[in-house]
Amino acid sequence: MADLSTEFTGLKFENPFLLASAPPTESDANIIRAFEAGWGGVVTKTIGLHPVMNVKGPKTKFLRAENSGYRLSMNKRPDTTLVASWNWELISDKTIDWWLPRIEKIKKAFPEKILIASIMAGSGNDKELHNWQMLTQGVQDAGADGLELNFSCPHMDRIDMGSNVGKDKVLCSVVTMAVKDVAKVPVWVKLTPATSNIAVEAEASFRGGADGICSSNTFPSLPLIDPETLEFEMNVEGYVSSGGLGGPAIMPLSLAKMSQMTTAFPDKSFSGIGGIATFDHALSYFLLGCGTVQVCTAAMLDSAIGPNVIKTLKEGMAAFLDKNAHRGWNRLDDFRGLRRDRVVGHSQIKRPDTVDYHGGYDAEGYAVPATTVSS
Ligand SMILES: Cc1cc2nc3c(=O)[nH]c(=O)nc-3n(C[C@H](O)[C@H](O)[C@H](O)COP(=O)(O)O)c2cc1C
């Protein structure tokens, strides 16, 4: 049997596949089902101290494309393929007092599985920094194996919370440092992808003492407008606000973000998130240097916690290791990061000899040029 186990930020995982912080991990019942299904770890739905009330109506919908044609819509219909999830769900609406005994209960029942607590507070004053420390102490005393600091929730009006922390390199350092002052377990930082060079915020988080960085959370986005009703496909009384895009559509975007970080910090630990449903998807993140990956959208659409997704991920990795045993690849670390150095500046990509030059017009999506230059 292939060895899927791995060590990441000092924690031992039976496999590198985690459920991301989201509806699949919003309750003890879900997390227990996830561990029974075979996930190596879970990150809890983000826990905070402020009261949370979600919008009226659905919090998440799924955007699907017609299999033959261009129509994109959230209306569920046959002959379509999933493109993305779109959500405007806030962090957990359960209190810390609700979560702590449940974290304790889950860890007692599954001591070998890795339970990471996602936490979030503000950052505008000392009281908020103290809130981060209270959350840290609470969840680690309850038995959480590690922390994930949410610097990435895209739908926050408060300028000192969520992705607004992840957009400010000083806050990234200051909050991470405050948490590290009291943390006895590894601290991961989940950064927003909505900045121009995420390596800047990663550097600031590492400077604050982060043990690992996770990305991506969902990308800021709007639902489409229905051409018949002229209403946003998701709205409350006609109004919408910026929400987050996840699922297949964000994988290339998220890989680009991950590459910016793993190239800048090849020796640091990264957890890849965005669009993952199969081992082939996870492999792209591993080859860029990630030591674990996390899944949300695909799990939501698979009995809420992804029993088939985790089965496919584990079987895919076992088959990949079998196929590549002759290369001496027996574990994730044997192939992790192998394609990290292939992402280079555009000017470093080889140009053709003049005689071969067709200006890129010999590819799908381009018309044949009116006149072809020949030498
Ligand atoms: C409905 C929903 C709720 C989410 N809630 C959280 C959250 O509380 N904390 C967090 O860090 N990320 C949250 N996320 C982001 C996911 O953890 C994940 O980063 C994102 O969905 C990208 O992964 P995916 O492409 O596999 O969906 C949420 C995502 C969705 C769809």
Predicted confidence pLDDT, tens digits, the chain (375 residues): 799 999 999 999 999 999 999 999 999 999 999 999 999 999 999 999 999 999 999 999 999 999 998 999 999 999 999 999 999 999 999 999 999 999 999 999 999 999 999 999 999 899 999 999 999 999 999 999 999 999 999 988 888 999 999 999 999 999 999 999 999 999 999 999 999 999 999 999 999 999 999 999 999 999 999 999 999 999 999 999 999 999 999 999 999 999 999 999 999 999 999 999 999 999 999 999 999 999 999 999 999 999 999 999 999 999 999 999 999 999 999 999 999 999 999 999 998 877 777 777 778 888 877 765 555
Residue 188 has a pLDDT of 98
Q: Are 337 and 270 in contact (CB under 8 A)?
A: no
Q: How far apart are CA 351 and CA 368, in angstroms?
A: 20
Give the model's pLDDT for residue 178. Answer: 98
Which of 268, 277, 249 lies closest to 336, judged by CA?
268
Tell how strand 212-215 and strand 187-191 pair up: parallel
Beta strands in the chain (DSSP E): 6-8, 11-13, 17-19, 41-43, 60-66, 72-73, 80-87, 114-119, 146-151, 187-191, 212-215, 219-221, 243-246, 270-273, 292-295
pLDDT of residue 363: 82
- Intra-chain end-to-end CA distance of the chain, in Å: 58
Distance, CA of 231 to CA of 242 (rounded, Å): 15
CA of 242 to the centre of ligand 1 (A): 15
Mutate to test the pocket of ligand 1, among 74, 188, 296, 309 (most ligand atoms within 8 A of CB): 296
Nearest-CA residue for ligand 1 atom 12 is 21
Is residue 295 within 6 Å of ligand 1 at its C-beta?
yes
Q: Which of 62, 217, 273 to mutate to test the pocket of ligand 1 (most atoms within 8 A of CB)?
A: 217
Residue 375 DSSP code: -
Measured from the CB, is residue 309 less than 6 Å from ligand 1?
no
Q: Please provide residue 148's backbone torsions phi and psi, each rounded to the nearest 5 degrees.
A: -120, 120
C-alpha of residue 150 to centroid of ligand 1, in Å: 11
Each residue of 206-222: pLDDT tens digit? 999 999 999 999 999 99
The verdict on the CB of residue 218 being under 6 Å from ligand 1 is: yes
Q: Which residues contact 268 (CB under 8 A, 6 or more apart)?
A: 202, 206, 212, 213, 261, 262
pLDDT at 116: 98
Ligand 1 atom nearest residue 299's Cα: 26
pTM of the model: 0.96
CA 213, CA 202: separation in Å to the nearest integer? 7
Q: What is the pLDDT of residue 364?
A: 85
| Ligand 1 in reach of 91 Cβ (< 6 A) | yes
Per residue in 67-123, pLDDT (tens digit) is 998 999 999 999 999 999 999 999 999 999 999 999 999 999 999 999 999 999 999
Give the distance (Å) from ligand 1 centre to CA of residue 308.
19
Nearest partner of 31 among 89, 73, 94, judged by Cα: 94
Q: For a substitution probing ligand 1, which of 55, 83, 218 has the most ligand atoms within 8 Å of its CB?
A: 218
What's the Cα-to-Cα distance from 253 to each of 21, 114, 275, rounded to whole Å? 19, 28, 10
Length of the chain: 375
Residue 153 backbone phi and psi in degrees, to 5: -60, 120
